[in-house]
Amino acid sequence: MVPSLAQLLPSGIIKTAMKITEVRSQQHLQELLQDQKRAFLLLFKAGTDNSDCALKSIRDARVEQEDTLILAANVAEVRDIHTYYGIRSAPTLMRFENGVFKSEIKGCHEPQYYGSLIENAVFTATATTDRQTNHRVTVYSTPSCPHCTSLKTHLKHHGIAFRDIDVSKDQQKAQELVQRTGQQGVPQAEINGKWVLGFDKTKVNKLLGI
């Protein structure tokens, strides 16, 4: 029998300020997202080290905002969510704004990072100035690329959510990247519709308003 979220998390977790809610299906997710300004969904695979790490980190994150919905779904039991959104690995944290899927963060990260990510989403969603906006960031990388790691670490440090595409495992995305930019090297990042080749910190910071 596949364990439930309540069994996987230590006693009392569901009742913490994070209010982690277990999702049972894609339909259930849509019901939960209805009229919800912002939400995060952790897709995890029970019994794997990275997923257990991500669950614990989100549990330990310090988030004071009460209007952000935190969800979790075990892909070993709930099989229609990751296929619907094209998510290919677990753990992956998905960010939703007004019920619309906006970005994904793969792997396990420190509690401080998750806390900063959630707080930053709340901040940008409620900001009133032009500078304070949500950013659309996609990073094309490979696991063996040190500059890729530096770029992603820089984004995480500043609480910038991004989609990470490993072109060494996705040949179609690799071909699309060359077609769009004419470049084969990594990292490459698309930030709010503009391309950055390599880890150009000055250009990245300018595009993100850092």
Confidence (pLDDT) at 5: 53
Closest by CA position to 68, among listed 145, 15, 125? 125
Average pLDDT rounded to a whole number, residues 36-56: 92
Dump pLDDT digits (tens) for 106-154. Answer: 999 888 888 877 776 654 444 433 334 578 899 999 989 999 989 988 8
- Across the beta sheet with 38-44, what order do the strands follow? 20-22, 69-74, 38-44, 92-97, 100-106
Cα–Cα distance list, 105 to 6, 12, 27, 38 (Å): 23, 26, 22, 15
Confidence (pLDDT) at 111: 85
Q: Give the C-alpha separation, 9 to 29, whole Å.
A: 20
Dump pLDDT digits (tens) for 49-107. Answer: 999 999 998 888 876 556 788 999 999 999 999 999 889 899 999 988 888 888 888 99
Single-letter amino acid, residue 94: M
Single-letter amino acid, residue 21: T
Domain map of the chain by residue range? 5-126, 137-208
How does residue 24 score in pLDDT terms, banded at 50, 70 and 90? Answer: very high
CB 23 within 8 A of CB 85: no
Strand stretches in 5-129, DSSP E: 20-22, 38-44, 69-74, 92-97, 100-106
Q: What fold is seen in the domain 5-126?
A: Glutaredoxin (3.40.30)
The structure tokens listed for 52 are 């257990």
Dump pLDDT digits (tens) for 173-205. Answer: 999 999 999 998 999 999 999 999 999 999 999
Q: Matching CATH topology for 5-126 and 137-208?
A: yes
Confidence (pLDDT) at 113: 81
Confidence (pLDDT) at 17: 46
Residues sharing a CB contact under 8 Å with residue 143, sequence separation 6 or more, in sequence order: 166, 168
Q: What fold is seen in the domain 137-208?
A: Glutaredoxin (3.40.30)
pTM over 0.85: no
Q: Taking the CA atoms of 101, 103, 108 and 111 in sequence, report the sign of the dihedral they define.
A: negative
